[in-house]
Amino acid sequence: MVNSKSGQTFDVYLMPEPKPFPGFGTVNNGGYMTVKTLSTRLLSASMLLLPFVAGSLSAQEAPEWLGGELKKPLSETRIGITVLYPGSNAYQAKYAETAEKYTKELGLKATVMDPQGDPATQFNQIQDMVSQNLDVIVLWPTSQNALIPAVRQASRSNIPVITSNSPIGESGRRYIAAHTGPDDCAQAEQAAEMLGDSLDGKGNIVVVEGTPGYSVSILRKNCFLDRMEDQYPDINILASQTAEWNREKAQTVMETFLTKYGDDIDGVYAFDDGMGLGVISALQGAGKKPGDVKVVTCNLFGEGWDAIKAGWETGSNKQSPVDDAILAIQTAVKVANGIDVPALNQIETPKIQSDNVDQFARPDW
């Protein structure tokens, strides 16, 4: 894609329209489920590999949210959970903490694993879980396509896989029992609207991206660009560069943008709030004042909540890792017990800006 004003070329990764999600197979009624607040517990820290057996919920008792009967006690239900890279940012760390705590609370036999963002490691983890003949697998994938053969192996071994937070490629979705998480396209569209409106529909912006080729990055890029082109044609994108979901790298990227473009930058879109906080650090280091440059992100962190209150951040949206993890685990337990679930199960992600930030609790991640 070429920006008509700057002449800069941007790679646009083609994906199917995110709504409705195609190719998730026949396991359900094909509808949508939206989850609001599932839990506000404070949770203990996670480790790379954490097995749990005992819990506070009676092994024979079916929880109210199950919507059916248990095929076997929860204490005998074996679930494997592999999470993208909990060490990379606060959101993923909180997700892993929640998975650890909630599976223990339910009394599940659970193992939470950290592939540290490496598809090869996660591929091996899935194969190991298949060899152990687990009841169900929860997968926050490190790659859109590299894991499809392992997921196919699980499906052919009659072990259902739930993808969480980020979907795998369309060709692999026939092997997935269900997907849970946020609507990344809707979040990107919200970000475009918040940034475009804050600039009164005109000006120059830069974009700080997530890891290229990762499905969340693809959606948060393409859907943002589409909404900008459709509704804010007078906003010019000066540059776009990845910071790989890393706060420190985002600060470096923004410092480079400031060196090159200086006061020509009116706004910034960062694919997540961790990178947005790195952008804000760069702006502060350059002597900018709150509001001089409009900063908009996706999935608000606690420090981002503070930044909105202080005027440094223009807007973001709510995305709770607690809700994210609990929804994935509940969906996995339902599937393991033969209970129909929607193909796509989403958490809500409302806009958060200065005029409504006090309506939302400060995130503790």
**pLDDT on residue 88:** 84
The pLDDT, as a whole number, for residue 60 is 58
Identity of residue 46: S
Mean pLDDT of the chain: 88
Is this structure's pTM higher than 0.85?
no
What per-residue confidence (pLDDT) applies to 214?
Answer: 86
Q: Measured between alpha carbons, how far is residue 211 from residues 42, 117, 227 in Å?
A: 29, 11, 21
Q: Tell me the average pLDDT across 53-80.
A: 81
CB atoms < 10 A from the CB of 221, how many?
25
Q: Taking the CA atoms of 346, 301, 240 and 224 in sequence, report the sign of the dihedral they define.
A: positive
CATH C-level class of 32-182+320-350: alpha beta
CATH fold for domain 184-318:
Rossmann fold (3.40.50)
How many angstroms separate the CA atoms of 95 and 324, rounded? 7
| 275: pLDDT strictly greater than 60 | yes
pLDDT above 90: residue 271: yes
- With 60 as the cut, is the pLDDT of residue 154 above it? yes
Instruction: Quickly list DSSP for 299-361.
Output: S--HHHHHHHHHTS--EEE---HHHHHHHHHHHHHHHHTT----SEEEE---EEETTTGGGSP
Contact 28, 342 (CB under 8 A): yes
pLDDT score for 365: 93
Q: What does the pLDDT read at residue 58?
A: 45
Query: What are the C-alpha distances in Å from 297 to residues 97, 267, 302, 308, 319?
Result: 24, 11, 13, 11, 11
User: Are 32-182+320-350 and 184-318 in the same CATH fold?
Assistant: yes
> Residue 151 pLDDT > 90, yes or no?
yes
User: Rounded mean pLDDT of 68-83?
Assistant: 97
Residue 108: how many other CB atoms lie within 10 Å: 29
- Edge-first strand order for the sheet with 267-270 is 235-242, 203-209, 267-270, 294-296, 315-317, 351-353
Question: What is the predicted pLDDT for the residue at 90?
Answer: 87
143 versus 43: the higher-pLDDT residue is 143
Q: Which amino acid is at 296?
A: V
Q: What is the mean pLDDT of residues 317-333?
A: 98
pLDDT in tens, 85-98: 998 888 999 999 99
Read off the amino acid at residue 129. Answer: M
100-128 tens-digit pLDDT: 999 999 999 999 999 999 999 999 999 99
Find out whether the peptide bond into 20 is cis, omega within 30 degrees of 0. yes
Taking the domains of the chain in order of start, what are their residue ranges? Answer: 32-182+320-350, 184-318
Query: What's the rounded mean pLDDT across residues 200-208?
Result: 99
